[in-house]
């Protein structure tokens, strides 16, 4: 197991003894804002070309409490802290000037950071030839999350970025556009190129476009000013070191594309309406619904580092199916484990009252960054297919790692938990 993962497990004891106070007065900002002097393209939700970008992390709802209003987005986020930022290189796309943009959910806009010459691009940092279309780059501003979750926050940055890639996948599905993820990119060089401080780092990229194999771009040179995306940054050396130690990956290509047999209009509604369910009525799911969800989340994900992620399902309430621990079409153990599942999710009722509580498990410490992002992508698919079929889902990042592994009789790393149901 990777040292970072082992050192950030929750245990019954740790959650009771490692109490830290959260400084609610000084919560980091959730938006990175570039200077107003830069050109912007405000995204018009009615325009399909703009909507493609808008659905990647865009704001879809407002939640108001006395004195404060929160914007909720197409992507869920641990603690609604939104550490992930999205940048995109656009080349040869009608209606957009070639350039490097920041995708700003705050302004619902693409902010032009650097106009692009024909000869240059980010492609050399991704080890690809010139891309006609979009090259997305995903980073995390870890302090937004470590402010609350301390060392465990690096995991959430990876989950959240996986969810963000999930929003890109869904937007591509609506547009009938293929995409592929590249994890093995020159992260450190890109961090420097984009003028990041140590609080922000790239985690992955995605290509939505055609690669022109006949043309090699020159590595982009640009001078971007440093922009403080959090305010009040407090360094976490453990997270920064863990990031640096996990940047190198062993390629493991997946070229098979997902086939989502869905009604596009219904999917569009699901993307706009997606929310985390807060409470289950405990009405059961149907067996067909469970199996459809499994088929959807198990579709391949095209990438250069496709790590195996095992899906365990604790069947609590599914009509037509017995209760028990289910994995890949077989029961590992029969029985009512609903209370146990709730306990394992740090005593959260979501884990107990669900139709099904999932645990995702992986073994590949060499490819940690890609592995947890993949768990996030699978999680995002589960959210969308649940919404699509008319029930709910919630990600659960807090669980007793070692006890979950023991319960599942696995020696792997528990990557993520999710609950679905009515």
Ligand X SMILES: Cc1cc2nc3c(=O)[nH]c(=O)nc-3n(C[C@H](O)[C@H](O)[C@H](O)COP(=O)(O)O)c2cc1C
- The residue ranges that bind ligand X (CB under 6 A) are 72, 76-78, 80, 156, 159-160, 163, 275-276, 348, 350, 394-398
Cβ neighbours of residue 253 closer than 8 Å, sequence gap 6 or more:
303, 304, 306
| Minimum CB distance to ligand X smaller for 89 or for 171 | 171
Q: Are 193 and 222 in contact, with CB atoms under 8 Å apart?
A: yes
**How near is the Cβ of 313 to ligand X at its closest, in Å?**
18
Residue 285: C-alpha distances to residues 104, 237, 256, 354, 418 (Å): 37, 44, 30, 9, 15
| Minimum CB distance to ligand X smaller for 207 or for 420 | 420
**How near is the Cβ of 386 to ligand X at its closest, in Å?**
12
| Minimum CB distance to ligand X smaller for 386 or for 410 | 386
Place of tokens 């699509």: 388
Collapse the DSSP code of 419 into the 3-class scheme (helix H, G, I; strand E, B; otherwise coil) and give the result: strand
**How near is the Cβ of 36 to ligand X at its closest, in Å?**
28
User: How many residues make up the chain in this entry?
Assistant: 422
| 3-state SS track over 212-276 | ECCCCCEECCCCCCCCCCCCCCCCCHHHHHHHHHCCCCCCECECCCCCCCCCHHHHHHHHHHCCE
**How near is the Cβ of 312 to ligand X at its closest, in Å?**
17
| Minimum CB distance to ligand X smaller for 181 or for 396 | 396
| Minimum CB distance to ligand X smaller for 77 or for 357 | 77
**How near is the Cβ of 126 to ligand X at its closest, in Å?**
26
| Minimum CB distance to ligand X smaller for 160 or for 364 | 160
d(CA 366, CA 371): 9
**How near is the Cβ of 293 to ligand X at its closest, in Å?**
17
Cβ neighbours of residue 232 closer than 8 Å, sequence gap 6 or more:
26, 28
- The secondary element (H helix, E strand) that includes residue 404 is helix 401-408
What are 395's two structure tokens?
A: 């990600």
Residue 99: C-alpha distances to residues 25, 181, 197 (Å): 38, 20, 22
| Minimum CB distance to ligand X smaller for 89 or for 108 | 108
**How near is the Cβ of 398 to ligand X at its closest, in Å?**
4
Residue 101: which of 93, 85, 109, 112 has the closest Cα?
A: 112
β-partners of residue 201 are 140
Collapse the DSSP code of 304 into the 3-class scheme (helix H, G, I; strand E, B; otherwise coil) and give the result: coil
Q: Is 25 exposed, middle or buried (0-12, 13-18, 19+ CB in 10 A)?
A: exposed
| Minimum CB distance to ligand X smaller for 78 or for 172 | 78
**How near is the Cβ of 163 to ligand X at its closest, in Å?**
5
Q: Are 277 and 349 in contact, with CB atoms under 8 Å apart?
A: no
| Minimum CB distance to ligand X smaller for 13 or for 278 | 278
| Minimum CB distance to ligand X smaller for 156 or for 312 | 156
Q: Are 57 and 167 in contact, with CB atoms under 8 Å apart?
A: yes
- The secondary element (H helix, E strand) that includes residue 101 is strand 99-104
**How near is the Cβ of 295 to ligand X at its closest, in Å?**
22
**How near is the Cβ of 78 to ligand X at its closest, in Å?**
4
| Minimum CB distance to ligand X smaller for 91 or for 380 | 380
**How near is the Cβ of 21 to ligand X at its closest, in Å?**
20
């Amino acid at each position: 197991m990777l040292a970072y993962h082992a050192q950030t497990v929750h245990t019954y004891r740790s959650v009771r003894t490692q109490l830290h106070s959260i400084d609610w007065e000084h919560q980091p900002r959730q938006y990175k804002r570039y200077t107003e002097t830069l050109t912007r393209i405000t995204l018009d939700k009615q325009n399909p070309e703009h909507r493609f970008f808008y659905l990647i992390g865009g704001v879809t709802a407002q939640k108001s409490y006395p004195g404060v209003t929160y914007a909720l987005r197409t992507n869920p986020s641990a603690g609604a802290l939104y550490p992930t930022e999205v940048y995109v290189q656009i080349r040869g796309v009608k209606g957009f000037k070639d350039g490097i943009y920041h995708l700003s959910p705050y302004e619902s806009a693409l902010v032009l950071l650097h106009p692009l010459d024909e000869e240059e691009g980010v492609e050399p940092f991704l080890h690809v030839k010139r891309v006609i279309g979009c090259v997305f780059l995903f980073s995390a501003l870890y302090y937004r999350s470590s402010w609350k979750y301390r060392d465990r926050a690096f995991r959430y940055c990876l989950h959240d970025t996986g969810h963000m890639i999930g929003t890109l996948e869904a937007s591509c599905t609506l547009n009938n556009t293929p995409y592929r993820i590249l994890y093995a990119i020159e992260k450190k060089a890109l961090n420097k190129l984009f003028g990041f401080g140590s609080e922000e780092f790239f985690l992955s990229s995605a290509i939505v476009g055609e690669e022109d194999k006949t043309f090699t771009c020159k590595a982009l040179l640009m001078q971007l000013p440093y922009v403080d995306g959090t305010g009040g940054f407090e360094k976490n050396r453990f997270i920064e070191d863990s990031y640096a130690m996990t940047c190198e990956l062993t390629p493991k290509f997946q070229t098979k594309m997902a086939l989502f047999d869905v009604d596009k209009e219904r999917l569009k509604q699901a993307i706009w309406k997606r929310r985390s369910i807060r409470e289950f009525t405990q009405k059961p799911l149907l067996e067909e619904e469970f199996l459809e969800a499994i088929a959807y989340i198990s579709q391949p994900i095209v990438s250069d580092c496709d790590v195996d992620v095992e899906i365990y399902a604790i069947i609590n309430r599914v009509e037509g199916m017995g209760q028990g621990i289910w994995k890949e079409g077989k029961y590992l153990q029969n029985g009512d484990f609903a209370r146990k599942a709730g306990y394992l999710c740090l005593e959260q009722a979501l884990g107990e009252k669900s139709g099904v509580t999932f645990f995702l498990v992986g073994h590949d410490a060499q490819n940690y960054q890609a592995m947890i992002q993949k768990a996030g992508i699978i999680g995002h698919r589960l959210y969308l297919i649940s919404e699509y079929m008319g029930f709910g889902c919630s990600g659960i990042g807090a669980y007793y790692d070692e006890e979950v592994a023991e319960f599942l009789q696995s020696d792997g790393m528990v990557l993520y938990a999710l609950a679905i149901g009515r």
